[in-house]
Amino acid sequence: MTYSAVLIDDEVHCTESLRLLLEIATPDVKVAAIFNESGAALEYLKTHPVDLVFLDIEMPEMNGFQLLGALDQLRFDVVFVTAYDQYAIKAFNFSAISYLLKPVDEDDLKDTLTRWQEKKYKVMGQNQLSMMWELMANKEKPKSKIALPTNDGLEFLEISTIIRCESESNYTRLYCSDKSRYLICRTLKDVEKVLQENGFIRIHHSHLINPQFIRKFVRHDGGFIVMEDGEQISISKTKKSRLFELLNDVERL
């Protein structure tokens, strides 16, 4: 099956190099149009069916989020092509939005296309888009929410409600204070990269916890903690020093 793609970036050399990389990466994605001016791209997207849009975030006339926000409905999937650094784009890590860092690497492009074709992310609603723009605009502040992909879009989850995260092979299960659970297609290492700035710590190779939900620390049997949901988690030897540092900061009676 062949899919149509549109490339949007105010820099001509970026769209041209991406076009060449797409030709090399896959025969399944055909470039239907290329735009170096966001206004013209907007008019095209209003009237033409498209499967996938490669979109720059920062453009002079209107940025990528503003362009998408000007559309009544999004009927395509988006891959942001951005010069933002890894810290800034952590907001995307749990979302249905894909991204490529400039300069685009051929292997990264192939990987993005493979994941897109395997999962066929549902398109974003405007409220979800607004949330992602807010996350990007406040990239220097600790995140209060993350976006989890669902069958019909995205679900935004308050980070403060997450008790713990447990590895299940290449997946991770999140346990929340309202007893809800979420299984996401991300490794625990990926989850740790996103949540560590919110205070989450890895105390075991299979467990990442929110210290706010520690109920008890037990010294015997090698040491383990009990979380607010009743789960008992062993503490890896290599992780004990970090946990003890944390416990030493807690006021004692």
What pLDDT digit, counting tens, does each position of 130-168 carry?
656 665 555 555 578 887 876 666 778 899 999 999 999
User: Does 250 score more than 70 pLDDT?
Assistant: no
pLDDT computed for residue 84 by the predictor: 67
Q: How confident is the model at residue 80 (pLDDT cuts 50, 70, 90)?
A: confident
pLDDT computed for residue 150 by the predictor: 66
pLDDT computed for residue 96 by the predictor: 45
Percent over 70 (pLDDT), the chain: 79
Q: Are 42 and 69 in contact (CB under 8 A)?
A: no
Each residue of 211-226: pLDDT tens digit? 899 999 888 777 889 9
Specify the amino acid at residue 157.
Answer: L
Q: Are 40 and 61 in contact (CB under 8 A)?
A: no
The full set of domains in the chain, from first to last, is: 3-137 (3.40.50.2300), 145-248 (2.40.50.1020)
The residue ranking higher by pLDDT, 141 or 110, is 110
The residue ranking higher by pLDDT, 45 or 245, is 45
Q: Are 242 and 199 in contact (CB under 8 A)?
A: no
User: Hey, is 150 helix, strand or coil?
Assistant: strand
The residue ranking higher by pLDDT, 73 or 43, is 43
Closest to 114 measured CA to CA, from 56, 55, 52: 52
User: Does 174 score more than 90 pLDDT?
Assistant: yes
User: Hey, is 51 helix, strand or coil?
Assistant: coil
Each residue of 25-61: pLDDT tens digit? 999 999 999 999 999 999 999 999 999 999 998 888 8
E strand intervals along 70-180:
77-82, 98-101, 145-150, 153-158, 162-168, 171-176
User: Hey, is 163 helix, strand or coil?
Assistant: strand
Closest to 121 measured CA to CA, from 178, 31, 53: 53
What is the distance between the alpha carbons of residues 93 and 75, in angstroms, rounded to a whole number?
Answer: 22
Residue 20: which region, alpha, beta or left (left: phi > 0; alpha: psi -120 to 50)? Answer: alpha
